[in-house]
Amino acid sequence: MSRITNHLPTAELQALDAAHHMHPFTAGAQLAEKGARVITRAKGIFLTDSEGHEILDAMAGLWCVNIGYGREEMAEVAAAQVRELSYYNTFFQTTHVPAIALAAKMAELAPGDLNHVFFAGSGSEANDTNIRLVRQYWARKGQPERRVILSRWNGYHGSSMGSGSLGGMKPIHAQGGMPIPDIHHIGQPDWWSEGGEMSPEDFGLMRARALEAKIKEIGPGRVAAFIGEPVQGAGGVIIPPASYWPEIQRICDDYGILLIADEVITGFGRTGQWFGSEAMGIRPHIMTVAKGLSSGYAPIGGSIICDEVADVIAGDEFNHGYTYSGHPLAAALALENLRILEEERVVEHVRNTANPYLAVKWAQLTDHPMVGEAKLCGLMGSIALTPDKSRRAAFAAGEGKVGYLTRERCFANNLVMRHVGDRMIIAPPLVITTDEIDLLIARAWTSLDEAMAKAKAEGLW
């Protein structure tokens, strides 16, 4: 076989891809027919594909490339770390400097007494760790019957058997016999789709109180923890009404159950605070992190754990861990990423510049006839597509068709926006400039216009 490089023609790369590469969350046969888009390089917030298009990546990869692509400092750190210590594990009473330094830095950045880090290779793995952690915590506290973990329908916590069960995505549950036992779900705080005639604040309270009802139904003595994303990401950037999280916090406090904030997307600046928990005013016992921890330069995730839980767990051997827990290359890259975020004051840039600038333009998208609501928290945003704003109506064609079509028009206009059903979502790199925000918005308008015309022409309206 000839060497496979960027220089091969796109069709040849696509054929090889279709023959050998199974893609996540993709219908393989459909993709093979169409041919995958081949990304060849990236710099800042722009991707380049094999046809030479320059694409504005308003999703930061998969919500992860917070500092932008292709940073020279990261390349230097990677090379130096490979030369110094390319791998060693953290099992069997061993450690290494990148893991020590990164854990200490994460403890410094995390709020409250979240002072202890258990490393994983991804968000899914970290949430699997959390299932083990909270059950072991209660077992060691003499309450082994506290095994149930509560979460939300349409939440996303990963794709392994454990984390996929914590998530509330029915298509994931349907393939592979999930959820695993002792995981139960309550409704999500998505006012646009499910709030009916209620005010957002009343609806938020009602959805939070579903947690209390569920705890009573299952029996408070059986519930170990509640897990939620401060702002749901993969579910469609669902920013909860302000009434929601304070009530969840009250209920967790009243029933003494552990609160896990899944900060895989919201961590490391996405909301304009270092962590989404700070933006939402909650005090979790455990935070799940990944993605923005390394800005996607290396696969790494982890659980940041409070003193009380860590102390209890430390009393016995925790029979859990991954070959790549605290991988030195990933840890060194994460540490450099955190240095860049801090020294370039990227979180302040989100809070004081990028969010306020984007907020005005994002809200103006509701002037478009197809856009119902526009929501933004820091630099994660969503718009709801609708044929009739006054009724928050769904499209006659069925959910997701117009969203898909809009995403395709975005691609054609060199803009990566994702669709979740008929919501369009963005989470651009945190270093995005105001000029780049203007370009994002201009491409979004063009794409919305084209999508609306196409939806009408195809009878999807």
Question: Which lies closer to ligand PMP via its Cβ, residue 14 or residue 124?
Answer: 124
> In whole angstroms, how close is the CB of 123 to ligand PMP at the nearest point?
2
Nearer to ligand PMP, 50 or 127 (CB): 127
**Cα 67 from Cα 344, distance rounded (Å):** 10
With CB under 6 A as the contact rule, the residue among 122, 273, 406, 413 that binds ligand PMP is 122
Which of 44, 123, 269, 387 touches ligand PMP by CB under 6 A?
Answer: 123
Piece in contact with ligand PMP (CB under 6 A), picked from 121-129, 204-212, 220-228, 380-388: 121-129
Enumerate residues 6+ apart whose C-beta is below 8 A from 207. Answer: 186, 187, 188, 189, 240, 244
Q: Does 233 bind ligand PMP (CB under 6 A)?
A: yes
Three-state secondary structure of the chain = CCCCCCCCCHHHHHHHHHHHCCCCCCCHHHHHHHCCCCEEEEEECEEEECCCCEEEECCHHHHCCCCCECCHHHHHHHHHHHHHCCCCCCCCCCCCHHHHHHHHHHHHHCCCCEEEEEEECCHHHHHHHHHHHHHHHHHHCCCCCCCEEEEECCCCCCCCHHHHHHCCCHHHHHCCCCCCCCEEEECCCCHHHHCCCCCHHHHHHHHHHHHHHHHHHHCHHHEEEEEECCCECCCCCECCCCCHHHHHHHHHHHHCCEEEEECCCCCCCCCCCCCHHHHHCCCCCEEEECHHHCCCCCCCEEEEEEHHHHHHHHCCCCCCCCCCCCCHHHHHHHHHHHHHHHHCCHHHHHHHHHHHHHHHHHHHHHHCCCEEEEEEECCEEEEEECCCHHHCCCCCCCCCHHHHHHHHHHHHCCEECEEECCEEEECCCCCCCHHHHHHHHHHHHHHHHHHHHHHHHCCCC
Q: Which one among 18, 74, 261, 264 touches ligand PMP, defined by CB under 6 A?
A: 264
Instruction: Kindly tell me which of 156 and 395 has the beta carbon lying closer to ligand PMP.
Output: 156
Query: Please, are residues 403 and 422 in contact by the beta-carbon 8 Å criterion?
Result: yes
The residue among 300 and 340 lying less far from ligand PMP, judged by its C-beta, is 300
Q: How far is the CB of 40 from ligand PMP (least distance, A)?
A: 23
Nearer to ligand PMP, 157 or 207 (CB): 157
Q: Does 228 bind ligand PMP (CB under 6 A)?
A: no
Instruction: CB nearer to ligand PMP: give 25 or 92.
Output: 25
| Vertex 60 angle, CA 58 and 61, to 5° | 115
Give least dist CB 178 to ligand PMP, A: 15
425 phi, psi to nearest 5 deg? -130, 150
Output 127 or 325, the one with its CB closest to ligand PMP. Answer: 127
Which residue minimizes CB distance to ligand PMP? 123
Residue 456 tokens read as: 């009408």
Q: Does 265 bind ligand PMP (CB under 6 A)?
A: yes
In the set 128, 212, 229, 336, which binds ligand PMP (CB under 6 A)?
229
Using the minimum distance from each CB to ligand PMP, give the nearer residue, 137 or 156.
156
Q: How far is the CB of 24 from ligand PMP (least distance, A)?
A: 9
Q: Which of 67, 150, 205, 234 binds ligand PMP (CB under 6 A)?
A: 234
Binding of residue 290 to ligand PMP (CB under 6 A): yes
Rounded to a whole number of angstroms, the minimum distance from the CB of residue 458 to ligand PMP is 31
Query: The dihedral of CA 231, 234, 235, 238: what is its sign?
Result: positive
- Residue 124 touches ligand PMP, criterion: CB under 6 A: yes
Instruction: Identify which of residues 168 and 387 has a Cβ nearer to ligand PMP in the complex.
Output: 168
- Contact stretch for ligand PMP (CB under 6 A) within 12-20, 49-57, 131-139, 229-237: 229-237
Q: Which is nearer to ligand PMP, 266 or 386 (CB)?
A: 266
User: How far is it, in rounded angstroms, from Cα 100 to Cα 21?
Assistant: 36
User: Residue 234 or residue 341: which is nearer to ligand PMP going by CB?
Assistant: 234
Q: Is 431 in the site for ligand PMP (CB under 6 A)?
A: no
57 binds ligand PMP (CB under 6 A): no
Stretch that binds ligand PMP, among 5-13, 259-267, 342-350, 385-393 (CB under 6 A): 259-267
Interacting span for ligand PMP (CB under 6 A) from 85-93, 228-236, 333-341, 383-391: 228-236
270 near ligand PMP, judged by CB under 6 A: no
Residue 410, judged by CB atoms within 10 A of its CB (0-12, 13-18, 19+), counts as buried
Query: Which of the residues 151 through 180 are near ligand PMP (CB under 6 A)?
Result: 156-158
Compute the least distance from the CB of residue 452 to ligand PMP, in Å.
29
Instruction: Report the alpha-carbon distance of residue 417 to residue 190 in Å, rounded.
Output: 20
- Asked if 212 interacts with ligand PMP (CB under 6 A), we say no
Residues that bind ligand PMP in the complex, under the rule CB under 6 A: 62, 122-124, 127, 156-158, 229, 233-234, 262, 264-265, 290, 301
